[in-house]
Amino acid sequence: LSNIPDNNFEKDLKNLCLEIVYENEPNLVHENKKKLEIIKKKYGYFNFENIDVNSINFDEKEIITKIRNKINEKEDRLATLLEKPNVSIDELLNHVIDQNKHELAKYIFHRDLIAKKGLSLTNSGDNEDILHNLFFPQKTSVVIEKNKAKNHLYENCVWLLDDKFMSYIYSASDITINRINSEIGRGNSDFKSEKRPDLFILYNSPEDSDLHKDVVLVEFKKGNIDYKEKTSAIDQVDEYKEKLKKIVNNINNFYCYIICDFKADDNDIERVMINRSFTKVFSNNGCMYYGYLKGSETHVTFVSSNSIFSDAVVRNKTFLDILTTV
């Protein structure tokens, strides 16, 4: 017999050692899977498909470090690639797509943390201010053309309603209509109003453009008020709309969102909505009511905060599943 081990010696030895470990640590794989799930909750934007849960050296910190190093190496390769004058568009595109996929997954994952935390904001008297500041900091306004800094884009969560609203060219949070008029209005000094819409967003095209633009108006309501006060917000946003259209030129669509806490089986709210010809729409968790005010040509959505956050979680999960498995 030869004393020289064959080519499979190391593999066979490793398997033998693993069998011994598994016999003495029967829960090893199960424990590793639990650890991996914990890591995924913290770093859901990483791809963990190639992680071996059978490993006896399953180390969470080492796993994260290796993944980060791999991502950094790819970024360095991209930087090096840019120094080559004759690099092909295909080669460059492949590297850029790979990096963009990671950055987008990280961005969506951090959004998801906010959306999931938002699900706990129910039935609280403090919800109105908490929700308001989450969507857009109170007592602030932004005129995009005057404000070249982009920090405001990272300090709000308007995307919870719709990503397209992030393309706003003006926003005013808890600001008087008088001030809105002075910042983007027609310059009518005779117009006076101390009313303060919770959140006013102008998007689509610059205010001084001849093109039509869309307006978003958001009102937040506390979670511990009765149904009459909650539904009174419909008349409130209608009043705001009438005042705002006097100072904003060429409005195409006016979208109003009333955000508060209510349950899908709230009979009082449902009765009010039916009487106003609103349509009930079920979401992933909760419901919303949509109505069109013909007199003022206004789209109104009466929606629970729970529904907004639940829908955001579902959207984020879809994106993350795609980005972290491709």
For the chain, the domains span 1-118, 121-314
Phi, psi dihedral angles at 281 (to 5 degrees)? -130, 125
Residues sharing a CB contact under 8 Å with residue 122, sequence separation 6 or more, in sequence order = 223, 261, 305, 306
Q: Is 16 left (phi over 0), alpha (psi -120 to 50) or beta?
A: alpha
pLDDT at 217: 95
pLDDT at 208: 55
Q: Tokens 């498909």 — which residue?
A: 49
Q: Tokens 């950055």 — which residue?
A: 103
DSSP-assigned states of every residue in 198-236: SEEEEESS-TTSSS-EEEEEEEE--TTS-HHHHHTHHHH
Q: At what angle do helices 233-244 and 177-184 cross, to 10 degrees?
A: 30
pLDDT at 146: 61
Beta bridge partners of 213: 251
The DSSP call for residue 283 is -
Question: What tokens appear for 195 in the block?
Answer: 């009313």
* Strand ordering across the sheet containing 251-260: 140-143, 168-173, 199-203, 213-220, 251-260, 298-304, 287-293, 279-282
Half-sphere exposure of 321 (CA within 13 A, CB side): 6
Question: What tokens appear for 226 in the block?
Answer: 């009765």
Alpha carbon distance 326, 323 (integer Å): 6
Question: Whose CA is closest to 197, among 151, 164, 241?
Answer: 241
Taking 70 as the pLDDT cut, the residues of the chain under it are 1-9, 11-26, 122-126, 146-151, 187-189, 204-210, 325-326
pTM, two decimals, is 0.79
